[in-house]
């Protein structure tokens, strides 16, 4: 069975990924990563993350996927040795110079080729393997048939990873300069301002007979805004094509997103209902879904309103369940009389009505309105630490 690989932007997300069934997690360290500093683990936290993941019998990969400047090239070898000493299972790398430095300095750590490196054919995959790569993360532009051909023409020792869920970029494997030009924030340095999601009006005057929508109701249309990727219906086809690792995008996402999405994919991979999992994926914030390029460009429809939608709100995370009460850490407001849903690994969603809310001082309150407040709520069934509570309506 393929590996289920989850993002982790912080320790809460990492714990959610493990709790809901990920086989491995990937995260950013303190250097050379392609995301905001807000989702980078410092050395101390990264070492703790590695210990937590390995204690659970899982694997941990660190993103070292930026294209390095001269100054960053100077520190690559030292960083490689630091990660290897922590017991990191693999580094995810885009830059050839960084790859060379890591290969020389950390001979026992796996090296994975980032999707940023644009591996979309068997010849390139073979070359990376010959250089010492253990895995290639395919460019998201590949079709299923192309993946199958790549698998057939590459060494069996090379593992293949492909994205199955999350945000997609309108540029080729993320190679985009729009944000750099319009907002002085480089998407290739993890600082994208997402101008492709902004609202535009566009008319092409030199191509008669070819029209783009210009107005969508009273607003401009988001013609550059891609759909989110969702492959919950085609996991079998991806496995048959030779994919060894199913990757979920989202190092900037919350633990609610990570837990829900990982749980949905884990359920289907373990033989659960695809229809039920699809409903779960509607519960988290997302843009309209598509299957990307796996069946060709016609399945990739970039025309959407650019807006997020979700069917549930994150109520809180379970810290303890004892004596008929669940202790939770609150995330969004809910009130007495409201129904909560409990999301637990490997179990159907269960619902219960909030009969009372008790704070840490033992006082009853009508509403949970302070973010991250610790509260106790009566619960008619057992829950485990790390389970998620959510709701689908707001009582005013």
Domain of 240, CATH number, reads 3.20.20.60
Enter the pTM of the model.
0.89
Asked, for residue 308, whether it belongs to a domain, the answer is no
Judgement on whether residues 269 and 195 belong to the same structural domain of the protein: no
The whole-angstrom separation of Cα 227 and Cα 224 is 10
Whether residue 306 lies inside any domain: the answer is no
Say if residue 65 is in the same domain as residue 148: yes
Q: Which of 293-302, 318-327, 347-356, 386-395 has the lowest mean pLDDT?
A: 293-302
Res. 200: pLDDT tops 70: no
In a domain, 215, yes or no: yes
Can you tell me the mean pLDDT for 38-47?
85
What tokens were used for 83? 């990660």
CATH of the domain at 335: 2.40.30.10
- The DSSP output letter for 189 is G
At which of 277, 299, 321 does a domain end? 299
* Interior angle at CA 91, CA 113 and CA 134, nearest 5: 50
Cα→Cα distances 362→365, 369, 376, Å: 10, 16, 9
| pLDDT given for residue 73 in this prediction | 86
Residue 304 lies in a domain: no
Looking at the structure, tell me whether residues 206 and 152 fall in a common domain: no
How many other C-beta atoms lie within 10 A of the C-beta of residue 45? 16
Enumerate residues 6+ apart whose C-beta is below 8 A from 127. Answer: none
pLDDT over 80 at 357, yes or no = yes
Domain membership of residue 26 as a residue range: 3-168+226-299
- How much is the pLDDT for 172? 65
Q: Copy the structure tokens of residue 110.
A: 């796996």
Q: Are residues 215 and 288 located together in one domain of the fold? A: no
14 & 83 share domain: yes
C-alpha to C-alpha distance for 186 and 322, rounded to whole angstroms: 49
In a domain, residue 108? The reply is yes
User: Mean pLDDT for the chain?
Assistant: 89
Do 164 and 283 reside in the same domain of the chain? yes
Q: What's the confidence (pLDDT) of residue 69?
A: 85
Q: What is the pLDDT of residue 395?
A: 46
Residues 98 and 157 in one domain: yes
Question: pLDDT tens digit string along 284-341?
Answer: 999 889 998 999 876 556 566 667 899 999 999 999 999 999 999 999 999 999 999 9
Which pLDDT does position 366 carry in this prediction? 95
Query: What mean pLDDT do residues 70-96 have?
Result: 94
Q: Which residues, in sequence order, are bridge partners of residue 350? A: 342
Domain count, the chain: 3
Q: Shortest CA distance to 262 belongs to which of 245, 273, 247?
A: 247
pLDDT grade for 192, boundaries at 50, 70 and 90: confident
């Amino acid at each position: 069975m393929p590996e289920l690989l989850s993002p982790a932007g912080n320790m809460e997300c990492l714990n959610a990924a493990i709790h809901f069934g990920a086989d491995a997690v990937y995260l950013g360290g303190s250097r050379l990563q392609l995301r905001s500093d807000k989702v980078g683990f410092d050395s101390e936290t990264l070492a703790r993350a590695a210990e937590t993941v390995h204690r659970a019998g899982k694997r941990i990969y660190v993103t070292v996927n930026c294209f390095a400047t001269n100054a960053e090239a100077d520190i690559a070898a030292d960083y490689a040795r630091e990660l290897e000493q922590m017991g990191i299972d693999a580094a995810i790398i885009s830059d050839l110079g960084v790859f060379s430095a890591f290969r020389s300095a950390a001979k026992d750590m796996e090296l994975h080729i980032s999707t940023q490196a644009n591996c979309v054919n068997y010849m390139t995959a073979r070359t990376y393997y010959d250089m010492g790569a253990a895995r290639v993360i395919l460019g998201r532009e590949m079709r299923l048939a192309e993946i199958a051909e790549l698998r057939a023409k590459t060494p069996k020792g090379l593992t293949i990873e492909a994205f199955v869920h999350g945000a997609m970029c309108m540029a080729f494997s993320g190679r985009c300069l729009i944000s750099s030009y319009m907002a002085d924030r480089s998407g290739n340095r993890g600082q994208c301002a997402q101008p492709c999601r902004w609202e535009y009006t566009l008319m092409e005057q030199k191509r008669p007979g070819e029209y783009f929508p210009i107005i969508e109701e009273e607003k401009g249309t988001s013609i550059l805004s891609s759909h989110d990727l969702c492959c919950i219906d085609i996991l079998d086809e991806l496995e048959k094509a030779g994919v060894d690792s199913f990757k979920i995008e989202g190092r900037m996402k919350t633990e609610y997103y990570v837990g829900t999405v990982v749980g949905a994919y884990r359920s289907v991979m373990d033989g659960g209902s695809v229809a039920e999992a699809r409903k779960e994926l509607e519960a988290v914030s997302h843009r309209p879904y598509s299957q990307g390029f796996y069946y060709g460009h016609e399945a990739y429809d970039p025309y959407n309103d650019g807006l997020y939608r979700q069917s549930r709100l994150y109520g809180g995370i379970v810290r303890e369940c004892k004596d008929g009460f669940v202790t939770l850490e609150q995330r969004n407001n809910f009130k007495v009389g409201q129904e909560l849903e409990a999301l637990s690994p490997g179990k159907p969603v269960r619902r219960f009505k909030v009969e009372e809310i008790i704070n840490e001082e033992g006082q009853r309150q009508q509403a949970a309105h302070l973010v991250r407040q610790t509260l106790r709520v009566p619960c008619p069934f057992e829950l485990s630490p790390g389970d998620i509570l959510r709701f689908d309506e707001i009582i005013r």
